[in-house]
Structure 1
Amino acid sequence: MEFRKAQTADIPELRSFYQEVCDHQKVDQYSPEWQWGVHPTEEMLRDAIDDPQKMLLIAVDSQRIAAAGALYTGDDQIYGQGHWQRNFPQSQVRVLHLFATRPQYRGHGLSRRFLLYILNQAKQNGGQAVHVDIVADNLPAQRSYERVGFQVSASLILNYSDTGPTPAKLMERDLTN
């Protein structure tokens, strides 16, 4: 398994990966309710590759993307203020978006290994904390993040652009410890 930054040449495989993840949500007990073309979109993927304030990271197994996630610099505006355990300058905060594992790779420890890689990349690129939001009832996602040191900072309603007001949890991983 190779962990690396995604490149423009990876877009066709990324599109296939996220389409499969979105389609599989129909049979998943827990899901973020993503819909390919609404969230995520190919434009989001290209932006995460091209924007210097972002990076799209992938886990590749024999030319096939097994997992992916994007790190953005600075908090998402929908989080509001005052929900974090520690206050870091926005230039030192990384937010994890679009984190997913291809269904056939789930349950084998890939998410943990890949999350540790993502945290390492965040730290190497000046991050002091990583923030992530999850749908409140997505307990498997919460457990995956907690296994690598994330803690729930707040439970609140987030107004997602694709699904509207949704009960969610904000999680934080302090990289300074």
Structure 2
Amino acid sequence: MINYRRLTKTDLPQVIAFYKDACDHQQFDQYSPDWTWGVYPSEQSLEESLNDLFIGAFDDDGTLLGAGILTKGEDPDYPSEAWKIPATDDQIAILHLLAVGPAARGKGVASGLLAQLKQVAKEAGAIVIHLDVIDGNPPADTLYQKNGYQLAKRVVIDYEDVGRQEANLYELKL
């Protein structure tokens, strides 16, 4: 059984270890988001994210299987003309750092997290979720499309950790 809940300060050590492991494991994955531990994400950014809508998926033993973060307000790196669903800044949620540990992949954890995050976004007053997928990560593109996200536009984004990259922008009407 998978349990989903909001992450709190008591979860921080497990959250840090989870994302550090996710970054370290990228070298073994055919596709990855190209995160750089210490830059994106970092211990500090994860701790600060506990103030946002940070949801975790846990097994019955309390092991963190996956997580994702929603922030309110548009990402300044996203061009405003990319979006098809009109929304004001306070009606937009941005999805960040969705990850599932290698042992839990293929078991519905990512889709379950997306469903939970969608509900949390609605409760927070959002009418749309925006996100980006770095070029060359077809499994992520497939996951989001399977869960109702629509490709809005291909853009170039200047990422803090990996520099200028092509990316797909997705949106989901809530």
Into which bin does the TM-score normalised by the smaller protein fall? over 0.9
Cα displacement (A) at 1:138? 0.7
Which AA in structure 1 matches 2:34? E
Task: Determine the structure 2 residue equivalent to 1:120.
Answer: 119
Per-residue CA distance 1:31-88 (angstroms, 9 max, x = gap)? 11112111101111111113xxx21111111221101011000111111221001120
**2:109 equivalent to 1:137:** no
| Counterpart in the other structure of 1:164 | 163
1:108 aligns with 2:98: no
Q: Please say if residues 71 and 95 of structure 2, whose CA atoms lie closer than 8 Å, have aligned partners that are also in contact.
A: yes
Taking the aligned partners of 2:148 and 2:22, their CA distance within structure 1 comes to: 25
Give the residue type in structure 2 aligned to 1:17: F
- In 1, the alpha carbon distance for the partners of 2:165 and 2:147 equals 25
Which residues of structure 1 form unaligned runs of 5+? none
- For the 8 Å contact 2:23–2:36, the answer to whether it is kept is yes
Q: Is the 8 A contact 1:32 1:134 kept in 2?
A: yes
One-letter amino acid matched to 1:20? D
Q: Match of 2:28, SS?
A: coil
* Secondary structure, counterpart of 1:36 in structure 2: coil
Point out 4+ residue stretches in structure 1 off by more than 4 angstroms: none
| Contact 1:96/1:131 (8 A) holds in 2 | yes
What SS is found at the alignment partner of 2:129?
Answer: strand
State the partner residue of 1:80: 79
Paired with 2:110 and 2:33, the residues of 1 have a C-alpha distance of: 16
Partner Cα distance (1:106, 1:20) in 2: 14
**Structure 1 residue 13: Cα displacement:** 0.2
Contact 2:22–2:101, Cα closer than 8 Å, also in 1: yes
Distance in 2 between residues matched to 1:113 and 1:68, nearest whole Å: 10
The residue that corresponds to 1:70 in the other structure is 69
Report the TM-score, using the length of structure 2 for normalisation: 0.96
| Cα deviations by residue, 1:104-153 (Å, 9 ceiling, x for unpaired) | 10011111111111111111111100001001221100111111100110
- Unaligned 5+ runs, structure 2: none
- Deviation track 1:88-112 (CA, whole Å, cap 9, x = no partner) reads 0110100000110011100111111
Q: Distance in 1 between matches of 2:113 and 2:53?
A: 14
Deviation at 1:156, TM superposition (A): 1.0
Aligned to 1:97: 96
Say if 2:55 and 2:113, in contact at 8 Å, map to a contact too.
no
Report the count of equivalent residues.
Answer: 172
Aligned 8 A contact 1:17 1:102 in 2: yes
**Aligned match of 2:55:** 57
